[in-house]
Amino acid sequence: MKERIKKLQKEKDVAILAHYYVDGDVQEIADYVGDSFYLAKTATKLKNKTIIMAGVYFMGESIKILNPEKTVYMVDIYADCPMAHMITIKKIKEMREKYSNLSVVCYINSTAEIKAHCDVCITSSNALKIVSKLKEKNIFIVPDGNLASYIAKQVKNKNIILNEGYCCVHNLVHLENVKKLKEEYPNAKVLAHPECKEEILKLADYIGSTSGIIAETLKEGDEFIIVTERGIRFEIYKKAPNKKLHFADTLICRSMKKNTLEKIEKILTEGGDELKVDDEIAKKALIPLERMLELAG
Ligand code: 13P
Ligand code: SF4
């Protein structure tokens, strides 16, 4: 099936993009695999007129908004990130009324409608850089409260306002499990995603995006305690098969696992559900996304 997919995508000039959390066999046939920022940025440089996105909805949606002339298919149009919906436009409007000198910053894990009401977009790999560059004193970060609280600890000269959203996968990490692993493997560095709760991040030696975590495992050290979704192991084992990885909990993002080779082959042979974004919303949501690309450098 992998060979058939590669042949079909060449014939049809389709680029396949995948996130590190999808299954290894899907990552294997993808042309580009990366974190959310890499995927959004890469899509703007592609010559292919059609993109198949193996990830979750907000990833495909951001690619479509940044490249409206391209045809974008989600491998599974129902692969959604629950966190993307954990903020309302009403709440953003209330904050705009309450605070002057405010910037509303949306994590890329948000809907296009939310992005359309925000000033700048961030991902876990560029959040600190971008928030530090903003001139406003008050920064409302949506939807992820854990990421926002991590930024608040690092960027001390801003008033970071938190929202109550969270990732239902990273929120499941048990403090006791991380502590136990640390005792068991005292030489292993703890690498965690900023979507984890503050109590977990306190135990981490490194906090960063999926690609940041992968890069850390390629540096010195033979074993690591990884606190993020398990799909990340495919890339690490590909690049460094001898490293030992200890996962704090069995974290599985069910939406990411909806991406399968069968569905990709079906899109390439029969077509699929094309991802569409309302024109007015897309025009407004493009502003924070382009600002992210500009500020992240
Ligand atoms: P990254 O941008 O770090 O790949 O994270 C995306 C995500 O959804 C993590 O849960
Ligand atoms: Fe969303 Fe969490 Fe899955 Fe990432 S791991 S896509 S934040 S549900």
Domains 83-168+285-296 and 170-252 share a fold: yes
ipTM: 0.98
Helix, coil or strand: residue 285: helix
Is residue 105 a contact partner of residue 120, using CB atoms and an 8 Å limit? yes
- pLDDT tens-place string over residues 198-257: 999 999 999 999 999 999 999 999 999 999 999 999 999 999 999 999 999 889 999 999
The domain locations on the chain are 2-80+257-276, 83-168+285-296, 170-252
Q: How much distance in Å is there from the Cα of 81 to the middle of ligand 2?
A: 5
CA atoms of 201 and 169, how far apart (whole Å): 15
CA dihedral sign of residues 17, 22, 26, 28: positive
The answer to whether residues 53 and 91 touch, using CB atoms and an 8 Å cutoff, is no
Interatomic CA distance for residues 20 and 43, integer angstroms: 16
* C-beta separation of 2 from 261 below 8 A: yes
| R_g (Cα) of the chain, nearest Å | 19
Per-residue pLDDT at 41: 97
- 170-252: CATH topology is Rossmann fold (3.40.50)
Query: Do the beta carbons of residue 154 and residue 225 sit within 8 Å?
Result: no
Tokens of 37: 């920022």
Q: Relative to the CA of 83, which ligand 1 atom is closest?
A: 8
The CB of 253 under 6 Å from ligand 2? The reply is yes
Q: How far apart are CA 5 and CA 266, in angstroms?
A: 9
pLDDT tens track for 71-112 = 999 999 999 999 999 999 999 999 999 999 999 999 999 999
Q: Indicate whether residue 109 lines ligand 2 (CB < 6 A).
A: yes
Site to probe by mutation for ligand 1, drawn from 58, 196, 210, 253 as the one with most ligand atoms within 8 Å of Cβ, is 210
Atom 2 (ligand 2) nearest CA: 167
Ligand closest to 168 (CA) is: 2
For the entire predicted model, the pTM comes to: 0.97
Say if residues 230 and 31 touch (Cβ distance below 8 Å). Answer: no
Q: Is 82 in the pocket of ligand 2 (CB under 6 A)?
A: yes
CATH class of 83-168+285-296: alpha beta
Binding site membership of 36 for ligand 1 (Cβ less than 6 Å): yes
Read off the pLDDT of residues 26-49 as tens digits, 9 standing for 90 and up.
999 999 999 999 999 999 999 999
- Look at the domain 2-80+257-276 and name its fold: Rossmann fold (3.40.50)
Helix, strand, or coil here: 223? Answer: strand
Answer for the pair 29, 43: CB distance below 8 angstroms, yes or no: no
